[in-house]
Structure 1
Amino acid sequence: MDLSTKYLGLTLRNPVVASAGPLSQTVDGVRDLVAAGVGAVVMYSLFEEQVRRELERDLHLEQAHQDSFAEASSYFPASSEAADRGVADAYVGLVRRAAAAVDVPVIASINGSSLGGWVEIAQRLADAGAAAIELNIYLAPGNVSVTGADVERHHLQIVTAVRQVVEVPLAVKLSPFFSSPGQMALQLVEAGADGLVLFNRSLQPEIDIETLAVRPSVALSTRFEARLPRTWIAALARHTHASLAATSGVEEASDVVRYLLAGADVVMSTSALVRHGAGYAHHLVAGLQDWMTRHEFATVDQFRGLLATPADADAQALARAGYVAGLEGARHAFGSAHR
């Protein structure tokens, strides 16, 4: 049985990928994920805010001592080129060591919302041995006057800028909250993305009604959340040659199968691996293999995209028909619940 798949032009031994998360913060963590059977590892993200804080600290330190005696000048950053040292250097070093330690692709992840220094850092990560770069463009504008067109234009500018300087494959992790996610996905591919990761999860804060405070909140994904990315993967699969990665809502091997049937090239998971440990990846891979055996599929390619939206279908009419049928079913199911 052949579980291999292609993602971003890379050959993976299977389609189960560890997405960016706490388990890939160390080389040992990456080794554990690979030992459990994943086909590739996306490193935990380097955040724009981390680099920016370091920039501001170094600038403040330099300005505070700019009138000090000249002999002390060598103590401070010599130029803006050194600004991203520290946390960025540590991340680049981690990617280098992880890539050298395992025999599966290691994908670096950059999380930010502005052009900033991402172009240079992406190049450094490629030079460090990252098999690909995942751009996690987390842009949730709080300014209500920002237009959707401005948000889309900003995404395209980032992808275009990074594409111009790196030769390794480039994936973009995008949000589902565009006015037309499918069209935006195709524009990102045109701008230079080799693959799309559907979807980024928007993390909303919680309100504490006792302390009257707003608190940041992070929750692991649930299986129900897979329905939205699965719908768009099915819609896109017949309309692009770019790689499609599924993420969110992967708890069981059956969730991996559903995503592949919709047309995903790989299926990423963090929440399940955090809940159950890195070794749980073996359960996902073994479950996929068992399902393939029972359904007599010898390769992943034989069933990938079997349930994707046909290229010649009226996708809008199909979606509307499914919506109406779902509501009709709910009316009968729940409407009789209290009779």
Structure 2
Amino acid sequence: MKGLGTSYLGLQLRNPLVASPSPLSQTVDGVRSLADGGVGAVVLYSLFEEQLRREAELNARLVDEGADSYGEALSYFPPSTTDEPGPRQYLSLLERSVAAVDVPVIGSLNGTTPGGWTRYATAMQEAGAAAIELNIYYLPGDPHTSGRDVEQRHLDILAAVKQAVTVPIAVKLSPYFSSIGEVALRLDQAGADGLVLFNRFLQPDIDAETITVAAAVGLSHPTEARLPRTWIALLSGRVSASLAATTGVESPTDVVNYLLAGADVVMTTSALLRHGAAHAGVLLDGLTEWMQRKGFGTVGELRGLLAVPAETDAQEHERSGYVRAMRDANSRLYGWT
């Protein structure tokens, strides 16, 4: 599609729509369907640190058991006996996906500690990953953990992985820092090639009938896009890292709004799960139609038009926006001025 080309993490993409991690990218056929649907890049489903730990423990146990009978078993690492995708399966999927599609395939690591990440980041690079997304899913349950310690974990993970690989690194952030802007600036200064805003924590819920805690996995809704869009608009032009928007992308308008705020790419999972991989074409056709109707020839011409100018006092800008929103709401509801 003419005029939709863009750059993300230094990678040249055919358009700014990226398939973020989901069950759709758990097979080569799934990755191929996403590429055929039109996306500019695919981020594979995340490889969890817990999977790495369990597989390492399983290998160690099987090697110890085999060593009692066969000396050569000390150098033998058998395949996983579980159906759960592990690192070997993941790296195989990554390698085969890279060979199967003509768009960049990005690996995703999901964990909390620097240890062990570098080994698999290196393996992902060797398997052909065009970049790696650090999906740092961390909820500090210990009330004695300070906010600064939480922030430092992110910086330590980034530093360790950056030292181990040469491919671009994106960091997927949560919105729950006390000062998101400062964390973003620190990660940018530490060498993050991209920032993905924001991670959605899949928080458990309570089932009052069974009196149990139940897992709650919900797809995103367009109203959830307001928070990441606000921060993208504030960070655009203030960081060197690429900005990826994620959450709440359902229609072409959602894609347009993120680009106007300053996103380099717009990621989606929920819409593709709801409607299928071919929905990517609907989003891109809608973006193209809007651009033609508004007189934009390229994505670069519209990107960041509604971002907060770098010379603007961001705090004052947000405060005035809050006051204006409250005044408008009161006017609509009560006729106040």
In the alignment, what sits opposite 1:218? 217
Q: Distance in 2 between matches of 1:73 and 1:311?
A: 65
In the alignment, what sits opposite 2:72? 74
User: Contact 2:193–2:242 at 8 Å: present in 1 too?
Assistant: yes
In the alignment, what sits opposite 1:45? 46
Amino acid corresponding to residue 249 of structure 2 in structure 1: V
Amino acid corresponding to residue 43 of structure 1 in structure 2: L
In the alignment, what sits opposite 2:285? 286
TM-score of the pair, normalised by structure 1: 0.93
The 5-angstrom pairing of residues 6-17 of structure 1 reads: 6-17=7-18
Q: Does 1:5 align with 2:27?
A: no
In the alignment, what sits opposite 1:112? 111
The 5-angstrom pairing of residues 220-235 of structure 1 reads: 220-235=219-234
Displacement of 1:200? 0.4
Amino acid corresponding to residue 277 of structure 1 in structure 2: G
TM-score of the pair, normalised by structure 2: 0.94
In the alignment, what sits opposite 1:55? 56
In the alignment, what sits opposite 2:140? 141
Q: Does 1:252 align with 2:251?
A: yes
Amino acid corresponding to residue 40 of structure 1 in structure 2: A
Displacement of 1:57? 2.5
Displacement of 1:100? 0.9
Unaligned runs of 5+ in 1: none
Which secondary structure state, in structure 2, belongs to the residue aligned with residue 164 of structure 1? Answer: helix
After superposition, the C-alpha distances for 1:224-266 in whole angstroms (9 at most, x for unaligned) are 1100000000000010121000000000000000000000000
Q: Distance in 1 between matches of 2:233 and 2:193?
A: 18
Amino acid corresponding to residue 133 of structure 1 in structure 2: I
Q: Distance in 1 between matches of 2:176 and 2:71?
A: 48
RMSD, aligned CA = 1.8
User: Contact 1:61–1:76 at 8 Å: present in 2 too?
Assistant: no
The 5-angstrom pairing of residues 17-28 of structure 1 reads: 17-28=18-29
Unaligned runs of 5+ in 2: none
Amino acid corresponding to residue 92 of structure 1 in structure 2: L
In the alignment, what sits opposite 2:303? 304
Which secondary structure state, in structure 2, belongs to the residue aligned with residue 74 of structure 1? Answer: helix
Q: Distance in 1 between matches of 2:113 and 2:75?
A: 23
Displacement of 1:89? 1.3
In the alignment, what sits opposite 1:33? 34
Q: Distance in 1 between matches of 2:190 and 2:22?
A: 27
Q: Distance in 2 between matches of 1:206 and 1:87?
A: 28
Amino acid corresponding to residue 179 of structure 1 in structure 2: S
After superposition, the C-alpha distances for 1:169-225 in whole angstroms (9 at most, x for unaligned) are 110101111111111011112222100000001121110001111111110000011
Q: Percent identity?
A: 57
After superposition, the C-alpha distances for 1:280-303 in whole angstroms (9 at most, x for unaligned) are 000001000000000011100011
Which secondary structure state, in structure 2, belongs to the residue aligned with residue 157 of structure 1? Answer: helix
Q: Distance in 2 between matches of 1:263 and 1:43?
A: 24
Matched pairs, number: 329
User: Contact 2:63–2:76 at 8 Å: present in 1 too?
Assistant: no
Q: Distance in 2 between matches of 1:298 and 1:78?
A: 58
Displacement of 1:53? 1.4
Q: Distance in 1 between matches of 2:314 and 2:323?
A: 14
Amino acid corresponding to residue 321 of structure 2 in structure 1: G
The 5-angstrom pairing of residues 81-120 of structure 1 reads: 87-120=86-119
After superposition, the C-alpha distances for 1:73-96 in whole angstroms (9 at most, x for unaligned) are 4335669xx9xxx81111111111
In the alignment, what sits opposite 2:275? 276
Displacement of 1:116? 2.6
Q: Distance in 2 between matches of 1:169 and 1:91?
A: 19
